[in-house]
Structure 1
Amino acid sequence: MFFSQGLYQVYQKYKVALLCNQASLDETFTPTFIRFKQAFGKNFRLIFSPQHGLYSEKQANMIGSYDEVEPFTQTPVISLYGPRLEPEPYHLEDIDVVFVDLQEVGCRVYTYIWTMFLLLKVCFNLGKKVVVLDRPNPIGGKIEGPYLEEDFRSFVGLDPLPLRHGLTIGELALLFKKRHFPGLDLEVVPVKGYRKSLLWKELGRPWVLPSPNLPSWWCSLVYPGQVLLEGTNLSEGRGTTLPFLVFGAPYLRIEKVLNFWEKLDLPEKNHVFLRPFVFEPTFDKWKGSRCFGFQLYVKDPVRFQPVKTTLILLRFIKENFSEFEFLEIPYEFEEKKRPIDILVGSKPVVDWLEGKREIDLDFYLYYNLKNYQEEIASILMYE
């Protein structure tokens, strides 16, 4: 968090609210909400919490958190995941400025960005100012599709973005303002000295898990691809100590998948190593069952393509294991569209996954993103 004395002085007389969670910390590991209490005193009126709750103790997929009182500062906490997905107008009646301090992970389906999107919408409608305290994108500025299609909008994609969007949360706020909220009073406080070409491991910062199943930066690096497994009956490693870095199922034959992977004539496979792995999840899919699969070891984080890697593996598994299934609704408050549809966000790519058509996968992952790159050029804050 990049809170400064100067920022405090500017907003000292305002009544403020803060959207944050337990990963919203400064360089001394002091939570932002404690800094705000110290700085604003009685004018610090409200905390909004995203998915997983203020302390990120709740698990995924519609396991909501509840309104409470934060024990250190005695500040009311309003949950924006579960009882509601956006603030009610009365929450902001006594608020002048809403601050946002959330660590995003560079992926379209990470719900924190959509909680911010809905917050921006409410603040725009009510004429409230928003200040976003920007944070680095842990997986840098690279972009990887598919680009979300209109028919697949949901709470894991309320606005079109590539699956790996390449922006910081502050830049996303600027993009949403440009598209939908032109009159919004928005300020983004930049990260000093930050370059988008840097990955998290090059920043010299400790990793504080932003959500319960991203315990390391390596988990976030593979996440834009491995999160697609949430739409299948493959375990994405929830219930293990290596979520998203491991995957598998009781029906998977390790030697068959590995043989396919080793014979694959694609340069992308050279950036990641698949280590055969057997695990038993303690919760979530296949709880207590022996799962056969792999652990991902990324050898070249710069060239690694998480989405393409997972899609190629998924298609092979879909074609070669009859027990494989795409999961049905509900998923993240969506009652009509299948999880895999809203996660991938592109009908041609989903059809390709299901073997219904052949496509140039690279077109949907990279080549058709020119318009998006042109659109975001005006809101980029970092080189």
Structure 2
Amino acid sequence: MRPSHLTALLQRNTTFAAVAVALLAGCAQVPSSAPVVPAVSQTELDTARFAQIDSAINAAIAEHKLPGAVFHLERNGAVYEQGYGTLSYEPGAASVTTDTVFDAASLTKVIATAPSVMLLAEQGKIDLDARLVQYFPECANGGKQEITIRHLLTHTSGLPSGIPATPAWHGSAAGHALACSLPVTNKPGTFFRYSDVNYVLLGQLVEKLSGMPLNEFAQQHIYTPLGMRDTGYLPLKRVAKEKIAPTHKSPLDPAQRELHGDVAGGQLLQGVVHDPTARRMDGVAGSAGLFSTARDLARYARMLLNGGELDGVRVLSKASVRLMTTAQSPAGIEALRGMGMDINSPYAVRPRGTVFPVGSFGHTGFTGCIVWIDPNSRTFYVFLSNRVYPDDKSNVLPLYTQLGTLAAQSARGFDYASVKPLAVAAAR
């Protein structure tokens, strides 16, 4: 049987995957748009779950919850990866493939900003428990004097959730001035509120202490060493526009243009960051702006599971990985966060699903993106979509729960009941 015939078989009915993998092992490489199912998956992954994953995503596409997506599931080298749907709802739109580049939205916080801060901490340039005003004295107002870097990383600074859109502003310096002008609404270290402001400031801290913009620092110290070839800010500088999934399509009325940053002028956003704050900052912010592929994000997840190293290249120390992925929230905070990763905040419930235990970790992005990792079963999944196309109104949270649950159930033979809940809290 020719490889192309086997590929078509896998695409039509993923339940045949377990039969076909042994034959595929000796054939030519499967095209990127087809499922990737190594033979080892017969022992590591329950292939019967693959059809359920496909069905859940395809049903959401049929309901116009999202035009397209990529899903990547992995455990101990066994991989299931597939592209679904099309780039948009327009007639003749190109199919999504596993090479499609997506706006990763808030995954930026844990794929770019948090690891960059950790690297600078490893170099002795950042003290994670130092106060923000030690680095930015201009922020010493409005109750921010007690904010530490740890507070920013764990979203316990007391700062509001975002930088106001009005009056109109543009540029990193203007964003910094606004962030520094915002008063806290809660005493730092006493309250959890997910906040883009925290990570805007952290991204600017990376620039100040490294001497290079966040996008360049992350590219040089994270993506290039890890071989994440399609990951970075400002994708149109290196990726063909046709490979990037579009996000927002209007036209927007004047009030909406003000709300969305006006940079896009109401046009289709394709290769231009969806997040309005990051757009006002010319596409590079600590809170959003990163674009990536599922395969690249899988490499990053693999690195974290390997304690900061991948393919013989060390990117982060084991200590940095522990701080990013175990509970580091101040005592008394119920929402458990690492210095970056979500562990058990209200935002973790959907992507974790109903089976992965507390102690698994990950993050989501507003555009319809997930990375979720369980160190106990060594299983992780990546889901990238453009659910915000064309108008930001689609809700895919039920799909998140389905995917998180199915990903966990795919770990063949693992007893999740044996994992001690909340054991991760001992790391604080």
Higher relative contact order (CA 8 A, sep 6+): 2
When normalised by structure 1's length, the TM-score is 0.28
When normalised by structure 2's length, the TM-score is 0.26
Q: Higher helix fraction: Structure 1 or Structure 2?
A: 2
